[in-house]
Every structure is written in structure tokens, then in C-alpha cells.
Amino acid sequence: MNTTVRPAAERGVANFGWLHSHHTFSFGQYYDPQFMGFGPLRVINEDRVAPSGGFDTHGHQDMEIVTYVLSGALEHRDSLGNGSIIRPGDVQRMTAGTGIRHSEFNASNSEPVHLLQIWIRPAELGLRPSYEQRFFPLDTRHGQLRLIGSADGRDGSVLIHQDVNLYATVLAQAETVTLNTQANRKLWVQVAQGALQVNEQTLQAGDGFSLSGAETLSLTGTAPHSEALIFDMG
């Protein structure tokens, strides 16, 4: 069994005034050869965008991009003609494929937006660009593992073009959830808020934890409100 802790304080940092971002893996000007990704998981950026701030129109290609908002509201527009507001509980998946352009802005002129942006390498290059957004109410994530992304879109999850099961959970103090998987799978836990005991490891907000060679993953909340994403990958 192999495990790695990625402490929040050791992540890469980018601060542009309107954007304060922490990079779990190498991204942009931040480069760490020990953290280039994990399995098909390539990027986890924890972004805080100031009121009215945002990313001007820019392009992506051959990447599955998942956006998970923790607080505030993010406005999205893209070259496919989609326009939406992403709020807590919403999960957005964008398949960049052969090429897509989009912009993302804080939808508020007074409140910041806090989000996780995730990039996953697709199983196949040159896919047709596409977009999907689904809402997962808090009561479907609280005290349980809610599948929010998968390779087949089952159980109302967004479709990710890769062998990935992406779960979200929100836990109260001492509340526990367990994921049963296979020893040949790669697991990554990203603590979004609060604090968790993951198997034998204590993690805080912003920490990441990888695990391979295990068949069980147990998460217990060690704060009044904790939130995490779990990637179960082939």
C-alpha cells in the first residue's frame, strides 16, 4: 500500500490580486516534478476570485475540466453558446476535446467566489467539445458519498471521459463514510473544507492524500463541517 500526503501549505501559489490560487499539482508558473498529477488527475486548483474578477476568454484542448463551487457564484460562457451561473452544489463538466474557448467571472460585485477547478486527462484525444452542469443538493452529499462524476454518467453524475468515479461528501463531526474499491485503483482525497481523518491520516482543509493498493477508504469528519472530493481512478 502506497500513500502520499500533499500538505495545503506546500502547494504552489499564484496571486494576481483578483485571483488567489493554490495549485496541488504543477500548473502555470509553478513547477514541482514530484507533483505533476496522479493517474489521469492532472490539476486541482483552489481558486478564490474577487468580486467582479475573472478569467477572460481563453482556450483549452484535450482535457476534462470539472468545476466545483464551494461558496459564491461563478458565471460561465463558452464558444458552444453555453451561459450559466455555477453555485454551491453545482458540478460543471466541460470536455475541451478538439478545442473550446470560455470565460469565467465572479457573478457578484460584492462577494468573493471560492471554487475547485479540476483537470482530468481524457481516455481519448480529439473528442467533440461538450458541456454539462448538474445540481447535487446538500442532503444528497451530507453523511454519504455522492457520485458526481463517472465514465458512464450513472446515478445522475456528470459524464467524464475517463475511468474515474468522482465522489463528494459533506461530514459533520465524527460522521464517517466508507468507500469500497479495488486494490488496483488509484485514490485521491482532496479536503475542500474542515478537517478529516482519512484511514489513519489526519488532514486539514486544502490537504490532498493519495492511496493505492487499498480496497477500503474511510473518511471521518473531525470538524463541525467538512467537505471533500474523492477520486477513484483506474
pLDDT in tens, 26-54: 999 999 999 999 999 999 999 999 999 99
Q: pLDDT tens-digit profile of 178-218? A: 999 999 999 999 999 999 999 989 999 999 999 999 999 99
Name residues whose C-beta falls within 8 Å of residue 40's C-beta, 6 or more positions apart in sequence. Answer: 120, 121, 122, 123, 162, 163, 164, 233
CA trace torsion 175, 181, 186, 190 (10° rounding): -20
Nearest C-alpha neighbor of 100 from the set 63, 71, 70, 137:
63
Q: Taking the domain 2-233, which CATH number applies?
A: 2.60.120.10
Label residue 1 by pLDDT band (50, 70, 90): confident
What residue spans define the domains of the chain? 2-233
